[in-house]
Amino acid sequence: MPVTQRFGEGHRILVSGGAGFVPSHTVDALLARGCEVVAIDNFITGSRDNVAHLAGEPRFTLIEADLTEGLPPLPGRFDAILHMASPASPTDFTKLPMEILKVGSIGTMALLERAVEDAARFLMASTSEAYGDPLVHPQPESYWGNVNPNGIRSVYDESKRFSEAATMAYHRFHGLDTAIVRIFNTYGPRMRPDDGRAIPTFIDQALRGTPLTVQGTGAQTRSITYVDDLVRGILLLLDSREPGPINCGTEHEITMLDLASLIVRLAGSDSPIELVERAPDDPEKRRPDLTLARQKLGYEPQVGPEEGLSRTIDYFRTLSNASQ
């Protein structure tokens, strides 16, 4: 059954991490609906460039603040709060471990308290990393996961798992209107070229003509989602009455070796592919079971990998030309 739009003109939305990759696209989609949007970001991984095009938009406010130090003054009531703030790239796990842990705990609790105060719908952006290196494939929301709580990735995995637990506690104890979305590997414009994730790394290498560094044998898989598809799923969940967790992604599962080869072809590059040491706790397989998303939200991804990757390559090529 289709979800009826619940948030639009006249509604005020708070988005944490609003200058980040996925959040900034979400901000655009909310503004396109007529919402008023307030974005909070401390810019440790977010970029002002991601929201620079909104400088003259009267319905958009950008506030520089660190959620882990408490919420800044935010007068007025919010109809919905989307908690999307967190460093999320492999390089961040070693460079920003404390920041990741704090935004997933202190930051989550601060926003949940504000949601209770405002009687707002609270949407928590969780992750497929909650499943760890899964022993069940594809991963349904009922699967509890296989996470190493002491590994390098644990600061992100466990931060998000704590955020889910806190969100559900507020839902049960306070009756708060909450939602949890588990986001699978997403790509598109506004990603950081140096963020350590496979797609921006491969594209950057292909455009520079250097070897594409594929970890391990390259047989490990991911299911890659173009950012527009993800944002559509997030807003469907926001509009619904579903508490989640609900997976959001695509079933375009591809090996890292095939992904690297595809990017070389789409970029028109002659870069070779080089196998390098694999990172610890790197998941072997990752693909969402989208049954709940289809049944509860009517969600269906629309952008295929060749189209999405071509758009993303064009974006990175523009960045490269601008820096020359």
Indicate the residue type of 102: K
Cα–Cα distance, 96 to 178 (Å, whole number) = 28
| Exposed/middle/buried for residue 323 (C-beta within 10 Å: 0-12, 13-18, 19+) | exposed
User: How are beta strands 121-127 and 178-183 bridged, if at all?
Assistant: parallel
- Tokens of residue 14, six digits: 């708070």
Is the Cβ–Cβ distance between 177 and 166 less than 8 Å?
Answer: no
- Rg for the chain, CA atoms, rounded: 19
Q: Among residues 59, 63, 57, which one has the least CA distance to residue 18?
A: 63
Q: What angle is formed at CA 48 by the lines to CA 311 and CA 321, rounded to 5 degrees?
A: 45
Residues carrying an active site annotation: 156
Cα distances (Å, whole numbers) of residue 153 to 87, 91, 141, 269: 12, 10, 20, 32
Separation CA 119–CA 261 (nearest Å): 49
